[in-house]
């Protein structure tokens, strides 16, 4: 695995440095990325569930069938 | 009449980079504008890019308005408090050599008050899906320091040719 680096540009001098990440920085980065993956999975699942509820509510409305409370919730702003 | 001056820029080399920092930002301007073009190596359809100031990981809040072609949503995110996000960028599963784009505006970056940040972001990859984000952010940190450094960090790593340009805006 290649070494993780960061780029730091000093705006006063114009100097650009490419530095290796410290162990702590790598640990923070890994923790953040892991949290992001969990968050993304939850967001995708929530979006999918909402889309399914809306589709079901629309079908029932057009057929004159009663909605569940969850289906009504996604239609009421 | 406002003037617009390039302060500094960076283009990521072949080794990639976990993050990009502009340090020692001069306090001689009124506002800051950063234009970012980025792609990361995250093995998915997108990655998110985050912003922190002065190496500090607290005091931030974000609201994200997102449009995805057929869907719209509004959210904050799990990292709220520790950084400003989420600028959606292209990642490894997107069409090769396509990059996301962000424009970050920071008015009154040297003030001793809460800092506001507005971000206009787009991700598209010459394919069937893209997304657009408008992001409103605040940095409310103890002592309200002037912004002297800005760091951009994705979840993956920036790939070669990702770039960032920092401009200073003056009111004279």
Domains (ranges, CATH) in chain B?
Answer: 3-170 (2.60.120)
What backbone phi and psi angles, to 5 degrees, belong to A48? -65, -45
Q: Between residues 25 and 44 of chain A, which touch chain B (CB distance below 8 Å)?
A: 25, 29, 32-33, 35-39, 43
pLDDT digits (tens, 9 = 90+) for B118-157: 999 999 888 877 889 999 999 999 999 999 999 999 999 9
Supply the ipTM of this predicted assembly: 0.91
Nearest residue on chain A to B28, judged by CA atoms? A12
In what helix (H) or strand (E) does residue A39 lie, and over which residues does it extend? Answer: helix A23-63
Are the beta carbons of B24 and A21 separated by less than 8 Å?
no
Q: Does the CA dihedral B117-B120-B46-A56 come out positive or negative?
A: positive
Sign of the dihedral defined by the CA atoms of residues B103, B109, B115, B116, in that order: negative
Whether B102 shows a pLDDT value over 80: the answer reads yes
Classify burial at A22, counting beta carbons within 10 Å of its beta carbon; exposed 0-12, middle 13-18, buried 19 or more. Answer: exposed
Q: Å from A33 to nearest chain B CA?
A: 5
Give residue-wise pLDDT tens across range B139-149: 999 999 999 99
Task: Give the pair of three-digit tokens for residue A46.
Answer: 């929530």
């Amino acid at each position: 695995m290649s070494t993780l680096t960061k780029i730091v540009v000093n705006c006063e001098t114009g100097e650009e440095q490419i530095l290796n990440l410290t162990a702590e920085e790598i640990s923070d980065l890994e923790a953040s990325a892991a949290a992001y993956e969990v968050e993304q999975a939850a967001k995708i699942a929530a979006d999918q569930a909402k889309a399914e509820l809306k589709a079901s509510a629309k079908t029932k409305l057009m057929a004159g069938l009663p909605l569940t409370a969850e289906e009504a919730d996604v239609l009421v702003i | 009449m406002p003037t617009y001056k390039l302060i500094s820029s960076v283009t990521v080399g072949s080794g990639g980079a976990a993050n990009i920092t502009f340090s020692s930002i001069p306090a001689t301007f009124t506002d800051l504008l950063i234009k970012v073009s980025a792609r990361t190596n995250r093995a998915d359809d997108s990655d998110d890019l985050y912003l922190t100031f002065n190496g500090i990981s607290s005091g931030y809040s974000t609201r994200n308005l997102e449009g995805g072609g057929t869907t719209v949503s509004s959210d904050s995110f799990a990292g709220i408090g520790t950084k400003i996000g989420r600028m959606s960028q292209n990642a490894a599963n997107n069409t090769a050599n396509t990059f996301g784009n962000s424009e970050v505006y920071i008015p009154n970056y040297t003030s001793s008050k809460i800092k506001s940040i507005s971000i206009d972001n787009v991700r598209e990859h010459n394919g069937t899906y893209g997304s657009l984000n408008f992001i409103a952010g605040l940095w409310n940190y103890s002592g309200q320091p002037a912004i002297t450094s800005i760091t951009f960090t994705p979840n993956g790593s920036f790939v070669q040719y990702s770039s960032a340009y920092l401009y200073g805006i003056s009111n004279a």
